Amino acid sequence: MKHLKRITFNPNVMGGQPTIRGLRVTVGMIVGLIAASHNKKDILEAYPYLEEEDIRQALAYAAWRVEEIEVPLINA
């Protein structure tokens, strides 16, 4: 997803999981915080190096991944 420029992948950071701007903050952590009823304001206060757009893009990336269809490979 080209418009999600804040979502980064680096095998040397958090085992290659999708992170926010190369920080040690994963998309999964952001989604988990939202799922645990933390709002954007709470998250930004707890992690002052994050920005609101980081949270928005993390949620957009997670939504995109959920909709992605994986096709199993069949040995022919």
Q: What is the pLDDT of residue 28?
A: 97
Alpha-carbon distance 12 to 4, whole Å? Answer: 20
Residue 59's pLDDT is 96
Contact between 28 and 16 under an 8 Å Cβ cutoff? The reply is: no
Return the closest-CA partner of residue 28 out of 36, 19, 38, 15. Answer: 19
- Give CA–CA dist 40/51, Å, rounded: 9
Which residues fall within 8 angstroms of residue 57, CB to CB, at 6 or more apart?
4, 5, 6, 7, 20
Q: Could you give all domains of the chain from N- to C-terminal order, each with its CATH number? A: 7-64 (1.10.10.10)
User: pLDDT averaged over consecutive 10-residue blocks of the chain (76 residues)?
Assistant: 88 96 97 98 97 97 84 63
The whole-number pLDDT of residue 16 equals 95
Per-residue pLDDT at 1: 61
Instruction: Enter the pTM of the model.
Output: 0.83
pLDDT given for residue 27 in this prediction: 98
Choose among 36, 27, 35: nearest CA to 64.
27
